[in-house]
Chains A and B, each alone.
Chain A
């Protein structure tokens, strides 16, 4: 890290995130004037242009890559057209102890006087929730599922390589061509398509204008600099910045610096237009930058250190962009500043060759040195990935920050090919967000919310009644008297699941249509194939591939619970279902022996024990039956999206745990349920290889992603042999068909110490879910959850 990077990093690391009303105010002004005068796509594009032309722009001291979403670094924009914060929300955001955002009285005033009055009743959230069925509300409030579209726009988008070959000027030509090809004589959708294409054109123009403003500012700043060596050096940097901003994004980049700035402008554009989940990701950054790097190196334009400096600047830019805060927050909620930009390294190129190059190593070094929250990176590990790369990654992992995470590229590609994607498109795809598989630059793979599996079982055991409220929110399945054998319990679980999923999907489909109609994203649509060719928005099935996901949580907990009931109630009959049910209702008070028996004497998931693992397979296939292949309204007839499952929980297993009573695996009420595809906390007692073996028995390739968290004690990974062992562990797991694994390498003592003295551990990054976060920024529940994960010692 040179001095420049050290300073920029420190600024980014220590600047408290703040809330900016700028975007909200500009958008409100614009809507007040234009709503109803133009078509919705054009309205959205014009609003985007309005923002690009009028928002405050920023070029910080020493910066080489420029542009911020907010008026200054770490200032986060809001999106009142989707969800409008209340004054109370803003005050809570400012004052809550964890992951707070500074909110000035000025912003609150803007909200009170301009933003809130206009958007009340008009925002997507207000309109979506004005007409929601009662049964959905009951399930939602009981903690059966969450709804992503309630807070943000659909997202998880990542880009392919097209922006390194084409600029906005080229896209405008494509758009013009598509408009001229519209069949006004026969196509009933002609008008809609024309409006959408017009909107895309305006969005391209807007992005060029945005860059132009930065070029002018850089020139002005250079001109204002005085004499002297340092001043002169900065002036020439600023003139270079101006030159780069005149080139991109209008035209395709010609060198490494332009390529990075191209990506950053495009990234900013997409997250200014809307706040899609997981911001934006560059996809295979190393693959895309490799040719620029080689060329610049050969021509002498750049050396390795300069390339690394530029990359570091991009990293810091991403870190300057914290996640937009939620609305309707309670003081207890914490969330994360991470907005989930996830960079893919390694993997395969379109032809199926190893895609890693020197830039892969540069990225790893930057990741390791900067130790920032964002962006995070993953290695797509294929059988073709060189040992050198995996071992370099293992070294970063061993330092304990939790990243990079590791994915099985061969499985990811096979999974996508299995869904009907071309092999080339699949290889250019990978993983975005936490662990979500997608065809980068070509797919709208939308996540719609988490599903609480242990709570579904709770309904099945209670005749559809939520024991928490005493209300019937599920379907009648007879309750414990009717569950005379294990098959009838399975059937009840299946019925409750079908019902809950049915209610969820109906509302999610409705929200999907609402976004397609009222919140199109023309700029994003320019970047995703084949929106231009189809004349359709990304949110309306314009992408080449379309998929919808429900993220199922608590596989481990529900597997162990079923396994416990099968063994102790139906097989050895050492307790009755009624006794079990009563004990759970009392949260095991007075039934500690029973609780321990269930927890300790049950075959549990994560131990390479077929008895438990076949139960997990049953749960998995039941999920597939209930969800996989359900129709979705998005996309062209014949190419419609379908519903699929993901097995990840991010941090939702903590929330779901709070909403779920005691479970038959001996878990106490309100403790977290198992996360991702990890075994229930403490259930795995046979070491990490057994965990991998158990997991590999579930056919993950039928999902859009799974998540395995492992915690290792540093001693297990010592020395060169430790690196080799970690690599071999990953290779072995992936050979078995595993999808993803990530590691926390930290000892319990360090974590406890961080709880006691957070100020001494400000930069202790730990793996939370599909991402890493600062341990001291997590609330107590999350901290304890991480501590409760089995620590793999290596014996």
Chain B
């Protein structure tokens, strides 16, 4: 079985799908959205997070490391996680030796068995709540083989799975994952390819194409028995200045309306009966700046400095644009 780079496992996760869930964070993401909440999840490699504020200067890290000469959490010359560490024979030894949790290893190579062991611990709570596992990241599709194996292992155990994805992958990879998962949270960052590409740093047509393909598959699966495909829920972050203009939101809503949907069986997409709710469900996620502290810890500049968190009225206005088109929409995940 495969293994992959996991940078966090959070139990009792409540914003990533129905019920009580465990969220597995897979490391690595090719996109670079400025509002990213997990900047540490972009790089696919394990990294060290230095917490100079916690360092008590005990030098245990130095003893554990062959190349350090001062406290790894604070020494500006030979910081843990710096270039010298790339060739470290025992990566993170410094962090494991640190009593103060001043150096944290972010990203650990895990086998499917190891990950499943953590997942299975909360089985009783998934059963009672209709919950399960959510694979997020990073971009989980960037570790598609590992993700696929995890999905299969969960399915074999009867555990509900959700995958949070930007949709940036080769179409066959995305559709393959869609067949092995129960729910896809599909990000929609922008309806326009040009602006989407500008924001994400990748060719955003891939994502939109995949979104259409996934919805098509989901719609067919809903009508054809024995043809498995995950349900699709679209998640759109509402980020002031990036994608929240009225015209932008309307374009997004139009895009959603045109998507093949379960109710319409795919064939009549875009021609729904008057007055009925239709289309794929949409969650609008208000931008918030709670990740700012994390950027600081990682020594990164915060890309959205000055962006205001959308208030309730603004979110309601965004919601109304979708609602006006008969889309089933809600604020928050």
Contacts and interface: CB of A to CB of B under 8 A. Distances in A.
Interface of A: 592-597, 600-601, 608, 686-690, 692-693, 716, 721-722, 724-725, 728-729, 731-732, 735-736, 792, 794-795
A597 B97 CA distance: 9
Given A687-B11, A729-B128, 12 more contacts: A593-B58, A596-B99, A600-B99, A600-B101, A728-B19, A728-B20, A728-B125, A728-B129, A729-B125, A731-B128, A732-B128, A795-B15
Contact of B128 (A597, A608, A693, A728): A728
Interface string B74-118: 000000000000000000000000011100000000000000000
B12 interface: yes
Contact of B129 (A592, A595, A725, A795): A725
Given A593-B58, A687-B12, A725-B129, A732 B20 contact: yes
Contacts of A688: 12
A716 B122 CA distance: 17
B200 interface: no
Contacts of B12: 687-689, 716, 729, 792, 794-795
Interface in B1-34: 10-15, 18-20, 23
A597 B100 CA distance: 7
Given A608-B121, A735-B124, A725 B10 contact: no
Contacts of A689: 11-12, 20, 121-122, 125
B52 to A, nearest CB: 15
Contacts of B20: 689, 725, 728-729, 732
Interface in B25-56: 56
B124 A732 contact: yes
A725 B19 contact: yes
B286 to A, nearest CB: 14
B125 A732 contact: yes
State the majority secondary structure of interface residues on A. Answer: helix
Nearest to A595: B99
B167 interface: no
Given A600-B100, A731-B128, A732-B129, A593 B10 contact: no
Contacts of B101: 596, 600
A99 B131 CA distance: 45
Interface string B118-159: 000110110111110000000000000000000000000000
Contact of A795 (B14, B19, B58, B124): B14
B205 interface: no
Contacts of A722: 14
Given A686-B11, A795-B15, A693 B129 contact: no
B100 A596 contact: yes
Nearest to B54: A596
B267 to A, nearest CB: 34
B60 interface: yes
A736 B124 contact: yes
A795 B124 CA distance: 18
Given A690-B121, A795-B15, A594 B99 contact: yes
Q: Interface SS of chain B: helix, strand, loop or mixed? A: loop
B60 A728 contact: no
5 contacts: A600-B100, A728-B129, A732-B125, A732-B128, A732-B129
Given A592-B56, A608-B121, A795 B10 contact: yes
A490 B156 CA distance: 43
A736 B124 CA distance: 8
Contacts of A596: 56, 99-101
Contacts of B122: 689-690, 693
A601 B15 CA distance: 30
B10 A716 contact: no
A732 B127 contact: yes
Contacts of A692: 125
A594 B14 CA distance: 36
A93 to B, nearest CB: 44
B138 to A, nearest CB: 16
Contacts of B56: 592-593, 596
Contact of A729 (B10, B100, B129): B129
A732 B58 CA distance: 43
Nearest to A692: B125
A689 B10 CA distance: 11
Contacts of B124: 732, 735-736
Nearest to B18: A721
Contact of A687 (B10, B18, B100): B10
Contacts of A721: 14, 18
Contact of B14 (A592, A595, A716): A716
B21 to A, nearest CB: 9
A795 B11 CA distance: 8
Contacts of B130: 728
Given A689-B12, A795-B13, A593 B125 contact: no
A593 B99 contact: yes
Nearest to B8: A795
A601 B101 CA distance: 9
A690 B11 contact: yes
Contacts of B23: 795
A482 B204 CA distance: 70
A286 B313 CA distance: 44
Contact of A592 (B19, B58, B125, B127): B58
Of residues B12, B14, B15, B127, which shows the largest number of chain A Cβ atoms within 10 Å of its Cβ? B12
A795 B23 CA distance: 8
**What are the nearest 7 A-B pairs in CB distance?**
A728-B129, A597-B99, A794-B14, A596-B99, A593-B58, A687-B12, A728-B128
Contacts of A735: 124, 128
A592 B10 CA distance: 29
Nearest to A693: B121
Contacts of B10: 687, 795
Contacts of B99: 593-597, 600-601
A732 B125 CA distance: 5
A69 B304 CA distance: 65
A716 B13 CA distance: 9
Nearest to B96: A601
Contacts of B131: 728
A722 B20 CA distance: 10
A79 B30 CA distance: 75
A30 B130 CA distance: 65
Contacts of A725: 14, 19-20, 129
